[in-house]
Amino acid sequence: MAEHSSMRHVATFCGNCNCGCPELFVDEAAEPERRIVITDDFGQRIQMSLGQLHDLVADVKGGVLDGLLTSTGS
């Protein structure tokens, strides 16, 4: 992903390879409802608000995805 000056890198998920791992950014110049940016290794982006990210993190911490991960053998 081409870096834009308003994009602040927060995290890289995986990072153990050179395959373009998913990354999390904050786009300081974006509208509040599109400020959080998650990129994948195919060049796609998801944009969401900080509130939506908060809800996602709370759900993950609460175990909402646990069944998905155990059913796929990951």
Residue 64: the pLDDT is 92
E runs forming strands in the chain: 7-12, 23-27, 36-39, 45-48
pLDDT tens-place string over residues 5-24? 789 999 998 867 777 789 99
Q: Which residues of the chain have pLDDT under 70?
A: 1-4, 15, 72-74
Residue 1: the pLDDT is 46
The set of long-range contacts for 3-11, using a CB threshold of 8 Å and a minimum separation of 24, is: 4/29, 6/30, 7/37
d(CA 45, CA 1): 9
